[in-house]
Amino acid sequence: MYEQVSNLKKLLDGRNISEIITGNIRVFCVTSGKGGVGKTNLSVNMSLALQKMGQKVLLVDADLGLANVDVLMGLYPKYNISHILSCNMSVNEILLEGPMGIKILPGASGLYELANLSTMELNALIKAFSAVTSDFDVVVIDTGAGISKNVLSFIHSSDEIIIVTTPEPSAVTDAYALIKLIYKYSRKIHVIVNRVDNFKDGEYTVKKILNASRKFLHTEINYLGYVLEDKKVLKSNMEQIPFYAKYPDSLASKCVTNIVHNLLYGEQRPFQNNFTFDGWIKKFISFVRNPAGG
């Protein structure tokens, strides 16, 4: 314990956390009400598409139970976010470089320990993230599926939420159930329909969600688009290479390009973006420490 405190004192380097200069950043939290809908695959490939469109992207693996962002890209992380505090490492020392130049922050189990951070530890973590704020334009957070406290903490602390579903009735039902839990606390909620046979399949599926949200929740959900069923996706998964990098002309890749274009240049955002890395960390830990939405 004494050694960890000593490391934190070195990390803080005697400076006030309020003196750190941070920049604006867009934070997208990709989640789903049900597992197995392709959420992580979309997180990875959307990150690549964002990078190709000129955004500097950080992909955070926040699926604490079944983290597999690294698996999809054939990467083998040696360190993760927990080493910032335990080993006095910087964020840059932990980051992995993925295809097309995106950066990946490997997740760590046991992030519930963040609920018990001291003020000094919290400031150290904020400082570590703030040090790389200017390096990125976009953060994509791949959460676990479902409505656990960990998942809801990531959702509530993020700028915009992207919910992934498929046309399967249980996936649609679970997606709407998730929206009911988060819509009061989220500035913007987007929906993607994955693994559709055609565009009508996507539109039919999302209309169920949009209509229910308008009628019962009195809220608007933004439809980002659909991803067509594509055998190249499975093939690229087996090769541990993202389909957007391996098969850029595939149907799935073209759909992802359209989705990311809508995300960046589609509907005008109705709020001013003043999100920062340290602001995100503060909000996240606030929700870890207290019941989500409380």
List, in order, residues 6 or more apart from 137 with CB less than 8 Å away: 25, 26, 55, 56, 57
CB atoms within 10 A of CB 55: 18
Q: How far is CA 224 from the centre of its chain?
A: 16
Residues in the chain: 294
Band (pLDDT 50/70/90 cuts) for residue 11 is very low
Q: Quick one: which of 110, 109, 108, 80 has its CA closest to 95?
A: 80
Q: For residues 41 and 107, what is the distance between their CA atoms, to the nearest angstrom?
A: 16
User: How do 103-105 and 57-62 pair as beta strands?
Assistant: parallel
Superfamily of domain 2-11+31-266: P-loop containing nucleotide triphosphate hydrolases (3.40.50.300)
Please count the CA atoms within 13 angstroms of the CA of 6 that sit on its side-chain side. 3
Residue 132: φ, ψ to 5°: -115, 10
pLDDT of residue 184: 87
Select, from the ranges 11-25, 50-64, 147-161, the one with the highest average predicted confidence (pLDDT): 50-64
Which tokens belong to 224?
């980002």
Q: pLDDT (tens digit, 9 = 90+) per residue, 163-202?
A: 999 999 999 999 999 999 999 888 799 999 999 999 999 9
Mean pLDDT of the chain: 81
Collapse the DSSP code of 219 into the 3-class scheme (helix H, G, I; strand E, B; otherwise coil) and give the result.
coil
- Of 187, 149, 155, which Cα lies nearest the Cα of 289? 149
pLDDT at 269 over 50: no
Mean pLDDT of the region 136-144: 89
CA dihedral 61, 11, 24, 109 (to 10 degrees): 20
- Residue 67's pLDDT is 62
Averaged pLDDT for residues 241-250 = 97
> Higher model confidence: residue 46 or residue 86?
46
22, with CB counted inside 10 A (0-12, 13-18, 19+), is middle
pLDDT at 3: 45
How high is the pLDDT of residue 154?
78
pLDDT, residue 126, reads 67
Inter-residue contact 277 to 127 (CB < 8 Å): no
Q: What angle do CA 35, 40, 45 make, to 5 degrees?
A: 145
